[in-house]
Structure 1
């Protein structure tokens, strides 16, 4: 749950074609005298825009991987006025995420997170400190514990069963599986967070998608924070403020409805119920406000929907490209569920090969390819000084495809994880699909439960083929969670249970 995937062409053209304007509106920062520090190596930079020209027209994780291959695994860049350090090796990541974790445990600032996440009053973007520790403890123990994840099992099963029935009605015809899967994950997250599929869900989804795209720190006001004029001229700022007003309207209604009648959909607590209960806890060091509640439930909705659906979509795309792997996964599922007409969560948890498929999917397509941190105290990584307040971006995508750590890394081969100590929790730092260290994703268990059950049901109930004349498009799209650019159109054929009984 932890940067915008493409640098804005409009912003790039503006920066490159109108330098005179920038000379007028941006006051160059005078370098303060300080002791000499050995900064990481840096590629050639241009006046004013720094290294932004290296990102134009490319996906940032691709561009930064190419720069790291040329200049080294620890890079120092200037994104406009903002210093950034890019980490692209397991050894350097270990220093940032473990040895120097407290020093690099902040989040980068951006107008998107400040506006849409209520001045970072949530968990994902909150500054590191006592307030963050309290909120993480509440999220881990009260919202996303293993017990709570299990308690939402009925919601997951019900939504996935609805997906199966929808696909049966489309048997033999092309369907946009990307859209169908997104609908399932958004409904599942809505019901777990809010107790029901709320009015305004479509509007909430649209705002979420726009917000995460504009929260990566690549807006003009983010790149040149000293310029008050650029802050005023940043049109996306006003767009975000309009979305924030709409978001307030939806979330205020949800919170007030829960406050007047606290009860979950099936008699238990949903996430809003828990937060309201914790708000009434007078023993908390930092009282929970309505702003905190709104920021956290927007966290849960955006992370639980976007990253989960992205992982399922990438997995199905890779399986369509690798039919032998798909057949092996289907054979395992159909043998384990033989004699039954559906897959439950207990069945899904025991599917060893399916877990390998998910691991390999998240290696090639980590939900957040660039994990954002910010330096809050003096520290060194790989012998280099990291400037205070610098963005620190761990290129999880680059490490997961580095031939130094992986044999034939571009090939989709789930068997590589057999007997491997690499796990989802980031014990092996060349594989960190959910981050690592203090700011690792606390919603990993919730997301994986949805991914496992959805994939198991899709592979059990249907055989799959591409529409005639079409192939799988693996182009990457924009967003904080980098999904596929275009929908996955496939043809489902219902599985004949009588063969297995």
Structure 2
């Protein structure tokens, strides 16, 4: 007891001494924090963090401050304020919230998502832009995407014959996974309905769910050593499984290159690019870098794409008139006798509007956190150094001051509209904005539109027997990305278009 009393007396003395001489800062309004805990209870009442901060923002305004433990958080729910912050202070956001989970296996030292802006971050981003997501590379890989989407439609056709409902998200996940694995390794990672696919889906979804769980160690730094909720340990288990799979593939490829040093492995995929970089010492890349880059790619490009396809399909099934309008446009532009191609997307404005409206209602990352490197003055308030600046994309997407009937699925709002989702119109920034905008934006756009258009072109769709559109469960489950809590099970129906293609 004397030891504890002594500790608290010292803590109070330090607080009083250190607190003197500091000028009071005008923080944005927000709920009054409790000592030590901050606003943990106000935010903890809602399991989904983006819904919790949106609810509080309606009370305290579009620029709101809350505190979780030692961490000051400023929630921005206004496009104008997001624009002001990004245009004036984007250079100050050199890092993201240092999630304790990202420290598993030192992933935060290699990942483009977590390392601070600097030379290494610039080098990694340049590699992604020039070698992975450049227009030339994406155009060259169109054939792979076309083949994988055809396999998706073949799988849907099997369900149409049997009359069995299709798990839309799981099927889209397999398609995204195999496209990525073929681009990187020239192999399929999984097959529809196979255990290998289910295992990989469980690993990747488990990772996003685990890393997205509120972690006390993120807000009380003294708890990091103890990992009280086991989140970092659980993340490490998932990381090990994925990294071991990458290690096996890299080892086999190196053996193939060693067996034929003149002609190499005979492959022309991205793994060859990565391995070439590793062999040039001046490039500064290691095999450990490669494995963590691969981890970033699989986490960022699989479940986000598949979940967005699922949300688009469920919104269309709940609005049959919108579904028919989208299918009619595709039939008119594509016609019978051929498949949808990426070059067709620009001629499908209603389909593009469907995707934008889906991203408005269901942004893959509902909040975008940045960490301030210095004090920032916004709207006469001070956003202090080291505070976490959170752009509330989900809240802005459902703000009645910004959108007419914000909770309704209305793709028409984006027809003949200048709004896009490339990070320039701040009402809709599902892929982020500024220097840390998603590097995979171009690939995500191609995959989303191609998969959705192909599913609508080749099949009509209906819900499972006995389920009405208004009865579909639209609840979300927590995680780094917004996932549908109950998977969409829909029955594909063969059309004359599919028969003509076959």
- Report the TM range for the smaller structure's normalisation: 0.7 to 0.9
Give 1:321 deviation, angstroms.
0.8
SS of corresponding position for 1:432 = coil
Q: What do residues 201-246 of structure 1 show as CA deviations (whole Å, max 9, x unaligned)?
A: 65444332222223247212222112366x2544233323333333
Residue 476 of structure 1: aligned partner? 476
Q: What do residues 370-393 of structure 1 show as CA deviations (whole Å, max 9, x unaligned)?
A: 011111222222222222222211
Q: What do residues 247-275 of structure 1 show as CA deviations (whole Å, max 9, x unaligned)?
A: 332222222333344699x9764332222
Is 2:206 the partner of 1:210? yes
Conserved in 1, the CA contact under 8 Å of 2:186 and 2:267? no
Conserved in 2, the CA contact under 8 Å of 1:367 and 1:482? yes
Whichever structure has more helix as a proportion of its residues is 2
Give 1:282 deviation, angstroms.
4.9
1:71-470 alignment, distance < 5 Å: 71-115=60-104, 118-171=107-160, 172-198=163-189, 202-216=198-212, 218-227=214-223, 231-261=226-256, 269-284=268-283, 287-470=284-467
Conserved in 2, the CA contact under 8 Å of 1:120 and 1:295? no
Give 1:430 deviation, angstroms.
1.2
SS of corresponding position for 1:388 = coil
Q: Structure 2 CA distance, aligned partners of 1:255 and 1:50?
A: 47
Conserved in 1, the CA contact under 8 Å of 2:349 and 2:415? no
Give 1:443 deviation, angstroms.
0.1
Conserved in 1, the CA contact under 8 Å of 2:28 and 2:63? yes
Asked which structure has the greater CA Rg, the reply is 2
Question: Which of 1 and 2 has higher RCO (CA within 8 Å, sep 6+)?
Answer: 1
Conserved in 2, the CA contact under 8 Å of 1:213 and 1:480? yes
Q: Structure 2 CA distance, aligned partners of 1:83 and 1:245?
A: 33
Residue 35 of structure 2: aligned partner? 47
SS of corresponding position for 1:464 = strand
Conserved in 2, the CA contact under 8 Å of 1:334 and 1:500? no
**TM-score of the two chains, using structure 2 as the length reference:** 0.88
Q: How large is the Cα RMSD of the aligned pairs? A: 2.7
Q: Structure 1 CA distance, aligned partners of 2:106 and 2:451?
A: 29
Structure 2, unaligned runs of 5 or more: 191-195
SS of corresponding position for 1:84 = strand
Q: Structure 1 CA distance, aligned partners of 2:450 and 2:496?
A: 20
Q: What do residues 99-144 of structure 1 show as CA deviations (whole Å, max 9, x unaligned)?
A: 1101124111012112166234121222122211121111111111
Q: Structure 1 CA distance, aligned partners of 2:179 and 2:322?
A: 28
Q: Structure 1 CA distance, aligned partners of 2:378 and 2:455?
A: 44
Q: Structure 1 CA distance, aligned partners of 2:462 and 2:213?
A: 40
Conserved in 2, the CA contact under 8 Å of 1:343 and 1:456? yes
> How many residues end up aligned between the 2 structures?
475
**TM-score of the two chains, using structure 1 as the length reference:** 0.88
Residue 8 of structure 1: aligned partner? none
Q: Structure 2 CA distance, aligned partners of 1:120 and 1:381?
A: 31
